Amino acid sequence: MMVQMDPDEWITEEESPVEVRTPGPSVIEADSWNAVPTPTMTGDYRGGRRLGGPRFWVIGVLVFAAIGAAVMIPWALAPGRPVAGPSPAIPDDVEISATPSKSDDPGTTAHGAVAASPPRTSVPPPSPSAEPSTNAPPVVTLLSRGRPTATSALENADLAGANAVDGNPSTRWGSAWSDPQWISVDLGAVHPITLVRLSWEAAYGRSYQMQTSLDNANWSTIFTTANGDGGIDEVTVSGTGRWVRVYGTQRATQWGYSLWELEIFGTATS
């Protein structure tokens, strides 16, 4: 009887038994296979083909499954992995806002698409701002310090009118012991006059006037009093002139009129 194992190979029953080698040192002869179940196919298994049969396929599947489990289980249990499960319920009154996409390039979305520009809104033009005022408040300046003076009559030469504008509180002007007496100061230019400060010595004026002039001849009275009480008289005035004069009409004592300092304040002109 002849059996076909391969299209190009035929063997007969009369051929000698063939040795089949298995892993290991032992050699099993084909005629001693009485302890092994007879395979479904008849014929000679040369070269060890189909050795082991379907058992090798089962072992391979089990090994592959074990390797896959060893890889997939740690990956599935790694921290940060999303856990499958039902989505939490969202209350009806909760508003869900879209998360803006982040991108490295301005004007693109996270996937590189060009982002839509927000709708333009009309911006009202800025209201014209008020121009800075050029009418800055005037700077009040002491105008009389060291300026030329003139007087009516002196008590003596040491009490000259210049002593009243030298800024030295220990020197003074003293007039003759009679009425009327006066002292004037040349400011050098026409100025608005805003304040006059008189620092009286013991011989002060009971009644006196403050006057201004543009030509040192015609005088305008900007202040008058009949109740002088000595000490320091600081008088706010309003007038304009180059010359300013203190004109005494009544002494308060038997002596004349005497001033430690005569200070005239106003706005300096360019």
Q: Give φ, ψ of 93 to 5 degrees.
A: -90, 5
**Distant-in-sequence, close-in-space partners of 231: CB < 8 Å, separation ≥ 6:** 200, 204
Tell me, yes or no, if the pTM score tops 0.85. Answer: no
Position 33 confidence tier, pLDDT thresholds 50, 70, 90: very low
pLDDT (tens digit, 9 = 90+) per residue, 131-182?
655 677 778 999 999 999 999 999 999 999 999 999 999 999 999 999 999 9
How high is the pLDDT of residue 122? 61
How high is the pLDDT of residue 31? 45
pLDDT (tens digit, 9 = 90+) per residue, 183-192?
999 999 999 9
Rounded CA Rg of the chain: 63
Dist. CA 153–CA 176, nearest whole Å = 5
Torsion of CA 219, 221, 227, 230, to 10 degrees: -60
How high is the pLDDT of residue 168? 97
Place of tokens 């009418």: 135
Q: What domains appear along the chain, each with residue ranges and CATH number? A: 2-57 (no CATH), 140-267 (2.60.120.260)
Dist. CA 266–CA 188, nearest whole Å = 13
Structural contact between residues 260 and 201, judged by C-beta atoms closer than 8 angstroms: yes
Dist. CA 178–CA 203, nearest whole Å = 12
Q: What are the distances in angstroms from CA 113 to CA 108, 117, 152, 205? A: 5, 12, 99, 95
Instruction: Please tell me which residue, 128 or 179, carries the higher pLDDT value.
Output: 179
Mean pLDDT value across the chain:
76
pLDDT (tens digit, 9 = 90+) per residue, 36-88?
454 454 444 444 445 455 666 777 777 777 777 776 666 666 665 555 555 55
